[in-house]
Structure 1
Amino acid sequence: MSPVLRKTLKIIGYPAATLVGVVALYYGVAQVLSRIPVAAEPTQEAATVPFFIYSNGVHTDLVMPVKSRFIDWSEQLPYSNTQAHDSTYEYVGVGWGDKGFYLDTPTWAQLKPSTAVRAGFWLSSTLMHATFYRASDLTSGPRCVPLSLTPDQYRRLIAYVEKSFQRDATGQFNWLPGHSYADHDAFYEA
């Protein structure tokens, strides 16, 4: 092998191996840490609010009822901000993430090294992603974990989620028109 080719392979190989190593380390740590059990919070209230953690394999959503006695999410996340304008969805999932990762990486096949580096080191802005779900979409399995929250836990979750959205001059969540993965989701500034 010629010295020039050997040097070129080193120049390309080391950064590529480093990137693969970082991604593998991240995945490994995520797998280990996600299996650590957490003690339940002591409470006298019954856990009556349905709640789901849903993953499409790339992004994870916190899924809540669109309408409950605590909040009507469709007032801040209107169905009209989706392509379908379909108000028959009963649940809404929200996720937070890197703007470039969300907009450029709907599936792992579209992941670019530059996007991964920017997302991994928080070098770009972030977005909130809202996806509407039907109850039939939320069956328990490897991608969907059903849980129940107490009213107090849900009120705290509502406050946390609402603080995560950037608001416009009218107080509404700042919608990013023209961007979606499908006909029942929308993006908002975080």
Structure 2
Amino acid sequence: MIFVKCIVKVLGKAILGFIAFVVLYFLVEAILSRIPGYKIAKQDQPKDIAIYVMSNGVHTDIVLPVEHGVIKWFSIFPFENTRGQNPNQHYVGIGWGDKGFYLNTPEWKDLKLSTALVAALGMGETALHVTYYHSVQESDMCYKVMIDKNQYNIIKDYILESLDTDSSGNPIYIETTAQYGEHDAFYEAKEAYNLFFSCNTWTNKMLKKANLPAGLWTVFDKGILRHYENLR
């Protein structure tokens, strides 16, 4: 009987500890995501490059011109690696995340506990998800931002530094049938996904580096999008 009481007591404390952690986690995120993580800088160069911050309701991507003086993205992520193999595309959306989520969880109904635990604990691999678009429409989930060449270079370098490469320095294409459409592909990435560094944290960090609207820290798409809602 004493043993059972001890077990119940330990379990009770563990459950209360877990609940306290979850409440604190969401509370800290709600606070820090509302604090601007960028500064309004003096405009030294013309902001003549249009990019987009896009969300699918859970995950954020940065959407860039396919071809610009800074870089031709199709030379890094060939159109041939998509099912459609259509070169008539004007924008490329790039996001980072847990490889297991990307490849094994096309919809939330497909989520397995094992996939979630591996991602949350930072034990899985990561990938870049690259999607080509012919056109992009602004909406409550997609915000247009004008940036300068300096900011574009920062974004470009951040993305390239997130890529895992082979011995020749080339991106490693992930051969899979898990594409979400005709115009997307996956590539091996660096860094580890975990409870404190999610796909949206990756996007948020990039935006902060480029001195674009972003929260101090966030793991959710809303933590980024609210800063763009306020600009309209």
Fold-level match, TM-score > 0.5?
Answer: yes
Across the two proteins, how many residue pairs are aligned to each other? 177
* 2:169 corresponds to: 171
Where in structure 2 are the equivalents of 1:137-176 lying within 5 Å? Answer: 137-141=136-140, 143-176=141-174
Q: Distance in 2 between matches of 1:42 and 1:119?
A: 39
Q: In the alignment, is residue 74 of structure 1 matched against residue 74 of structure 2?
A: yes
* Structure-2 change in CA distance of 1:25 and 1:131 (3 Å): farther
Q: CA RMSD in A?
A: 2.7
The change in CA–CA distance for 1:72 and 1:82 in structure 2 (over 3 A counts) is: same
Q: How far is the alpha carbon of 1:36 from its aligned partner? A: 2.9
Instruction: Give the C-alpha shift of residue 171 in structure 1.
Output: 2.8
Q: Partner amino acid for 2:69?
A: R
Q: Tell me the CA shift for residue 29 of structure 1.
A: 5.1
Kept in 2: contact 1:58–1:107 (CA 8 A): no
Instruction: Provide the C-alpha distance between the structure 1 equivalents of 2:128 and 2:120, rounded to a whole number of angstroms.
Output: 17
Match of 2:188 in 1: 189
Secondary structure of 2:106's partner?
A: coil
Question: Deviation at 1:26?
Answer: 5.5
Partner of 2:179: 180
Unaligned stretches of 5+ residues in structure 2: 1-6, 190-232
TM-score, structure 2 as length reference = 0.66
CA shift in 2, pair 1:46/1:174, >3 Å:
same
| Rounded Cα–Cα distance in structure 1 between residues aligned with 2:24 and 2:66 | 36
Q: Which segment drifts farther, 105-114 or 64-73?
A: 105-114
Whether contact under 8 Å (1:58, 1:106) holds in the other structure is no
Note closer, same or farther for the CA distance 1:46–1:106 as it changes in structure 2 (3 Å cut). same
Equivalent runs, 1:1-190 vs 2, <5 Å = 22=22, 30-37=29-36, 38-135=38-135, 137-141=136-140, 143-178=141-176, 179-190=178-189
- The structure with higher relative contact order (CA 8 Å, sep 6+) is 2
**CA separation of 1:58/1:109 partners in 2, compared to 1, >3 Å: closer, same or farther?**
farther
Distance in structure 2 (CA, Å) of the matches to 1:132 and 1:29: 35
